[in-house]
């Protein structure tokens, strides 16, 4: 009798256990029932241009998966941009990290929320958000709306909190968030010099020093020309590096970035005198309307075409600025006169020795100006390194140059990027320049009242 009861009880217990396991297995398939409903692209300005850095997938309810990230392989991301355009871009994107978030932004940390953030590999060719029209050498930007599709092709979550794969639910991107760029305000100034100068400006949020915030004025290169009031921020980091969280934490500052248009007869390139006059008028107008600008710490930086404008502006208005960083520069009409005018003005210049767009050795190049400075008896610090070295190694060499300049009492540092070592191609010496915290630290250390 006892044996029979024991057997019956065991069978009953096994049946209950099997039922419980079956229920658990069923629950593990899809307890949340969440469905992907939308996607937002997140762009970021990289050293070599605008990239789609992430996709934020929105679900129809909050996802709670704990703190461990999701399986990146559970998502497929495809690109189809510029159909019928000059440079169609079609392919796949590689997901490098996936995590939930309460907001559609890159945080790197998983938190409960309606969004799944997919960080993407920015080194792959399909990461770009732009293309160059080589007939004009102008950079153009894809219309990203609707250009990406995303599908959850694998289960995500763990234990009894799992959202089952939904490979047939293909979501098309409907919006774009441009990191940093969207934080810039839009402006336009009808100058007495003639041009109507469109510009963007960034306002700092940090605590200003007692004399106010510094102001950085950036002059873009030819490729960022146009009338969209966007390219001067998106083309490279000449402007956005100064607005980045890291730089603003160290040096909260205004950033002012106008746009030139060489194809507009009412405007022109930065080497046009009326555009140089317009820049000065813009700076003066901006300072007048922002009384918290520290007028002893206004800085100028320009690359390529922007360096042409910078050299011309500095020769006429160096008293307006405290220091300058010029990159792959040229166009100086009289290097001896420039050397005499700028003998006491702090300049750090960077140029690739094999630059085939703005010749390093050409008459009127920044190299020739520094030669003239040294010939006139002005102390110059010469430095040279590979642009392909890791950033940390480049910064060690930059620190050595800055230290030597301080010891020698020199206001002038010239850095040569060794031939064959400039990232992407030889004209892009701005990549190692604006990636260097040491060069930016040096710039912010300049003060016209010291």
CB 385 within 8 A of CB 397: yes
Query: Which DSSP helix (H) or strand (E) runs through 38?
Result: strand 36-46
Structure tokens at 171: 């979501």
Burial of 19 (0-12, 13-18, 19+ CB in 10 A): exposed
**Measured distance CA(234)–CA(38) in Å, rounded:** 25
How far does CA 442 lie from the centroid of its chain?
20
Closest to 40 measured CA to CA, from 136, 137, 150: 150
**What does the alpha-carbon distance between residue 99 and residue 42 come to, in Å, rounded to a whole number?**
15
pLDDT at 22: 42
Inter-axis angle of helices 437-444 and 391-408, nearest 10: 30
Answer yes or no: are the C-beta atoms of 393 and 372 closer than 8 Å. no
C-alpha span between 156 and 164 (Å, rounded): 7
Is 36:57 a contact under the CB 8 Å cutoff? yes
pLDDT along the chain (450 residues), means of 10: 38 41 41 88 97 98 90 97 83 97 96 97 96 92 95 90 95 97 98 98 89 97 98 98 97 98 97 98 98 97 98 97 98 98 98 98 98 98 98 98 97 98 97 98 94
pLDDT at 229: 98
Cα(287)–Cα(290) distance, integer angstroms: 5
Do 309 and 224 form a contact (C-beta atoms < 8 A)? no
- Token code pair at residue 329: 């520069």
Token pair 């873009």 is at which residue? 220
Spatial distance between the Cα atoms of 403 and 383, rounded to a whole number of angstroms: 12
pLDDT in the model for residue 25: 40
DSSP-derived 3-state class of residue 118: strand
Do the strands 130-133 and 293-303 form a parallel or antiparallel pair, or are they unpaired? unpaired
Domains in the chain, ordered, with CATH?
A: 36-178 (2.60.40.2180), 181-444 (3.40.50.1820)
- pLDDT at position 209 is 82
pLDDT of residue 32: 62
Q: Coil, strand, or helix at residue 175? A: strand
Sign of CA dihedral 177, 180, 185, 187: negative
Give pTM, 2 decimals.
Answer: 0.91
Tokens of 417: 């990027």
* Residue 128: strand, helix, or coil: strand
Give Cβ neighbours of residue 370 (< 8 Å, ≥ 6 apart): 349, 380, 382, 412, 414
**Measured distance CA(76)–CA(94) in Å, rounded:** 8
DSSP state of 325: E
Q: Cα torsion at 147, 153, 166, 39 (round to 10°)? A: -30
Q: Which residues contact 328 (CB under 8 A, 6 or more apart)?
A: 303, 304, 307, 350, 351, 352, 355, 357, 358, 366, 427, 429, 430
In a 10 Å sphere around its CB, with 0-12 CB exposed, 13-18 middle and 19+ buried, how is residue 317 labelled?
middle
């Amino acid at each position: 009798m006892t044996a029979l009861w024991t057997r019956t009880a065991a069978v009953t217990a096994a049946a209950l256990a099997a039922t419980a396991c079956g229920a658990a297995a069923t629950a593990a398939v899809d307890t949340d029932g969440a469905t992907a409903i939308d996607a937002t692209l997140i762009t970021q300005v990289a050293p070599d241009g605008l990239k789609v850095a992430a996709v934020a997938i929105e679900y129809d309810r909050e996802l709670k998966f704990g703190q461990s990230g999701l399986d990146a392989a559970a998502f497929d991301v495809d690109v189809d941009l510029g159909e019928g355009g000059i440079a169609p871009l079609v392919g796949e994107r590689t997901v490098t990290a996936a995590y939930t978030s309460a907001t559609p932004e890159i945080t790197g940390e998983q938190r409960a929320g309606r969004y799944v953030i997919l960080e993407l590999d920015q080194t792959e060719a399909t990461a770009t958000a732009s293309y160059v029209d080589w007939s004009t050498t102008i950079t153009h930007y894809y219309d990203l709306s609707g250009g990406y599709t995303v599908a959850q092709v694998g289960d995500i979550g763990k234990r009894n909190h799992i959202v089952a794969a939904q490979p047939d639910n293909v979501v098309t991107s409907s919006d774009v968030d441009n990191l940093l760029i969207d934080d810039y305000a839009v402006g336009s100034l009808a100058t007495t010099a003639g041009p109507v100068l469109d510009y963007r400006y960034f306002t700092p949020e940090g605590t200003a020093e007692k004399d106010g915030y510094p102001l950085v004025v950036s002059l873009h290169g030819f490729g960022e020309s146009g009338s969209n009031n966007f390219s001067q921020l998106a083309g490279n980091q000449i402007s956005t590096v100064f607005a980045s969280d890291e730089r603003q934490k160290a040096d909260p500052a205004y950033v002012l970035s106008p746009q030139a248009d060489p194809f507009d007869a009412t405007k022109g390139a930065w080497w046009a005198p009326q555009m140089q006059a317009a820049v000065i008028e813009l700076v003066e107008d901006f300072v007048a309307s922002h009384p918290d600008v520290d007028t002893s710490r206004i800085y100028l930086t320009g690359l390529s075409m922007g360096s042409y404008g910078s050299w011309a502006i500095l020769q006429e208005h160096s008293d307006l600025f405290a220091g300058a960083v010029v990159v792959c520069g040229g166009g100086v009409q009289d290097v001896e006169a420039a050397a005499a005018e700028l003998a006491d003005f702090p300049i750090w210049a960077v140029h690739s020795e094999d630059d085939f767009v703005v010749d390093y050795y050409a008459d009127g190049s920044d190299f020739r100006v520094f030669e003239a400075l040294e010939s006139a008896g002005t102390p110059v610090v010469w430095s040279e390194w590979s642009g392909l070295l890791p950033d940390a190694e480049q910064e060690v060499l930059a620190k050595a140059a800055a230290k030597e300049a301080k010891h020698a009492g020199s206001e002038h540092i010239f850095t040569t990027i060794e031939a064959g070592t400039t990232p992407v191609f030889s004209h892009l010496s701005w990549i190692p320049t604006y990636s260097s915290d040491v060069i930016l630290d040096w710039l912010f250390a300049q003060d016209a009242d010291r």
